[in-house]
Structure 1
């Protein structure tokens, strides 16, 4: 006779198979049926928690994780999952308590140390976070998650030598390694050689790092190609040191070149430190005819200021880097003599009608970054959250005021500085400790008055 426990385990395994097949609804039913047979099956509670978390129901996920951990207090993975959930909700003290519990469960497990390091880094306790990552690596030098996490602290602090080396722990470009028949570049001599800079990460990353084409040419490379997002192909053809541009959605070369490299590896192999960041600005250019076309849409008497208040919702820290509402732009409205131009495209465009200041809505008309570059080139200033448009303005040599969150500020903006060696024309406006956009926008409003008056 089959026991209730055996029936529960059979249903649990069925649920796992359904979850792996993407049938979350079927998996949830199986896990619930398993628990009806055996309410103490911790693994079923944990997997239900994971499904709730994936569906965006954090409260239900937390309840299930806590029940699972109570039933199986020595299960490291449940503790790690619960800690990550609490961190996502910025419940730092509770997350730290669970993180310490995870270390008690498995003090020799590198994942426990690395996860605690992530939490401490988010809390700006970077010395403690670094120690956690190094303990994880001492336990297992091949635990690349810890090395990758460590890279962000090092780069944010300007410790580029070790930071670039640790950043090599990422491995999200393996498909390109399989595609190319020529080797990856790891710093070999480039005289007379050709190299393909591949696509990596987002549009902003590509705009920031395409500058290395000129560095590679200065090291003797005979030909340089770039593989990029479709929206960047026309713009990148303005790069003087690039011989070919390929869209990632088109046909890509698999042979005929000597080397390939992900762009985020170029600073390491070009030995970039804080004092040697290539900053020959501008290194991108808009089409003069396009600038003329868009200029006709703009004021000829007022200062022209472009605005971007939201980034892509898919970015991991978007809830913090984007303004939650266009209403936060209100302190800019009282500054006279300015035509405000919305460069917002897609998400955020629906807020324009309710904006607290008049906006010329051009963002929705822009078909690619070449057109965006033409508009930006016709402006006097860009004010933007941390998105690709800010990188574009910097690469074009256009003055740009960058609005930065206090929580998980991107590594490339370093710490505390109001300027950036990556883009000399950028001015950084940071949230105060603990966050909040109101103080930032009040400072931006005052700076804008001084800018107009000056």
Structure 2
């Protein structure tokens, strides 16, 4: 890459009016993630070739990567006006329109891309996530399988490493061994873990889950699970399994099209915290003064593609909540933001447990004893929803995950979840203000009450 950059810059020095050199330099700089420099090169090229759909499309891609979707959409539209049969640009426009919450228009663009190229996997996957966010599951789950086609997706690698073992596609599982293979995030595994017992009930002789260590203790306790192992161990014995499946494909294979019907067969509240862990964490939680026990998570994994939008800038953003009387806050923050929890704002008591948490089994044992969890879009929302603890999720305005749907304050995936949405990207103040106004109602109605013993059975009066 550095050699290519040098060569293109040399070519530009010799002939500065050669648009192709500026354009190709932009491609190199974009690949190096030097977005400002890439934008400058593409704009130089566009000034020389204003009718080039390639330059318009790629400049749109840089602006999209820089978090400027409206500007990107304008460039994509210009390119399509010149060449409407460009499927990749229809796909790109659909993606930015989806991030701008222009959902009907986004669907039109995805379908236009697929009309031009029915095998366009990225467009199928983009359409799938859009349809999932609408709750149009019958078509959505089918298209969601397109994630196995793009080579850059981790899902494609699953097919490679598990090649001796066929993927389960809905045939009978009676008497067969099934490997459930994690290829998505922790939150995905917790949310879709509700289907494990249902898989076992189909007659699976041995149900093994291969997943990351933070999930091991949690999933071992789930009904129907016979064994939980790391990926390497499952891969080493892959030939011993009759078939494998990703949890994210299970709704398709089970025919999930309706939440009400699905809840009856695969309850959202399915996690059973370990009683030993519950007792261990109860001792720490009981050091809190009386009041509503509220868990907090304000940052997610920094490696997540949308973390810049979904995580709060700092713990200080939640400062208005400190003013609500009768609330005791518990920090569940782990990793990014942990340092803030260890040194909370002056005058704000905060019981920080996140640093002591070993895995998600610990998290579940803590959350099950809280009255409420307030968090950004992380795995903790799924833990709370799956143990039955009320949870308020703070959502960004841009690139909202499909499972939180659109325009709703509740979630059909979890009965105890309430959603607080940004009105404008980056503006968390209004979200926190809404939470601050709602919190006193929880204090009045949801605080953990003292546990009372039942009445005693008194002996009959002795006659004298």
Equivalent residue number for residue 178 of structure 1: 160
Deviates more, 1:168-177 or 1:73-82: 73-82
Deviates more, 1:296-305 or 1:42-51: 42-51
TM-aligned CA distance change 1:168 to 1:121, over 3 Å: same
Give the deviation of 1:94 after TM superposition: 2.6
* Alpha-carbon distance in structure 2 between the residues aligned to 1:167 and 1:444: 34
RMSD of aligned residue pairs (Cα, Å): 2.2
Give the deviation of 1:265 after TM superposition: 1.1
TM-aligned CA distance change 1:334 to 1:288, over 3 Å: same
SS of 1:240's partner is coil
Equivalent residue number for residue 149 of structure 1: 126
* Alpha-carbon distance in structure 1 between the residues aligned to 2:20 and 2:147: 30
TM-aligned CA distance change 1:408 to 1:337, over 3 Å: same
Residues 1:276 and 2:261 are matched in the alignment: yes
Equivalent residue number for residue 342 of structure 1: 331
Give the deviation of 1:267 after TM superposition: 0.8
Give the deviation of 1:57 after TM superposition: 4.1
TM-aligned CA distance change 1:174 to 1:52, over 3 Å: closer
Runs of 5+ unmatched residues, structure 2 = 446-464
Give the deviation of 1:208 after TM superposition: 0.8
* Alpha-carbon distance in structure 1 between the residues aligned to 2:374 and 2:10: 54
Give the deviation of 1:90 after TM superposition: 4.0
Give the deviation of 1:250 after TM superposition: 4.2
Give the deviation of 1:148 after TM superposition: 0.9
SS of 1:267's partner is helix
CA contact (8 A) 1:106 1:112 kept: no
* Alpha-carbon distance in structure 2 between the residues aligned to 1:432 and 1:166: 30
CA contact (8 A) 2:158 2:183 kept: no
Residues 1:111 and 2:88 are matched in the alignment: yes
Give the deviation of 1:158 after TM superposition: 0.8
CA contact (8 A) 1:66 1:82 kept: yes
Counting matched residue pairs gives 431
- Please show how residues 240-279 of structure 1 align to structure 2 within 5 Å: 240-252=223-235, 253-273=237-257, 274-278=259-263, 279=266
Residues 1:125 and 2:102 are matched in the alignment: yes
Residues 1:355 and 2:345 are matched in the alignment: yes
- Please show how residues 28-427 of structure 1 align to structure 2 within 5 Å: 28-53=5-30, 57-73=34-50, 75-171=52-148, 172=153, 173-180=155-162, 181-252=164-235, 253-273=237-257, 274-278=259-263, 279-298=266-285, 299=288, 301-352=290-341, 353-355=343-345, 357-427=348-418
Deviates more, 1:154-163 or 1:185-194: 185-194
CA contact (8 A) 1:194 1:223 kept: yes
TM-aligned CA distance change 1:138 to 1:291, over 3 Å: same
Give the deviation of 1:73 after TM superposition: 4.7
SS of 1:190's partner is coil
CA contact (8 A) 2:299 2:337 kept: yes
Equivalent residue number for residue 9 of structure 1: none
CA contact (8 A) 2:210 2:234 kept: no
* Alpha-carbon distance in structure 2 between the residues aligned to 1:350 and 1:31: 45
* Alpha-carbon distance in structure 1 between the residues aligned to 2:144 and 2:110: 13
Deviations 1:163-186 (A, max 9, x none): 111111112323222333221111
TM-aligned CA distance change 1:98 to 1:365, over 3 Å: same
CA contact (8 A) 1:45 1:65 kept: yes
Deviations 1:373-405 (A, max 9, x none): 222223222111000111111111222111112
Give the deviation of 1:445 after TM superposition: 1.3
CA contact (8 A) 1:309 1:323 kept: yes
CA contact (8 A) 1:404 1:430 kept: yes
SS of 2:147's partner is coil
Give the deviation of 1:40 after TM superposition: 4.0
CA contact (8 A) 1:230 1:249 kept: no
CA contact (8 A) 2:294 2:372 kept: yes
Equivalent residue number for residue 456 of structure 2: none
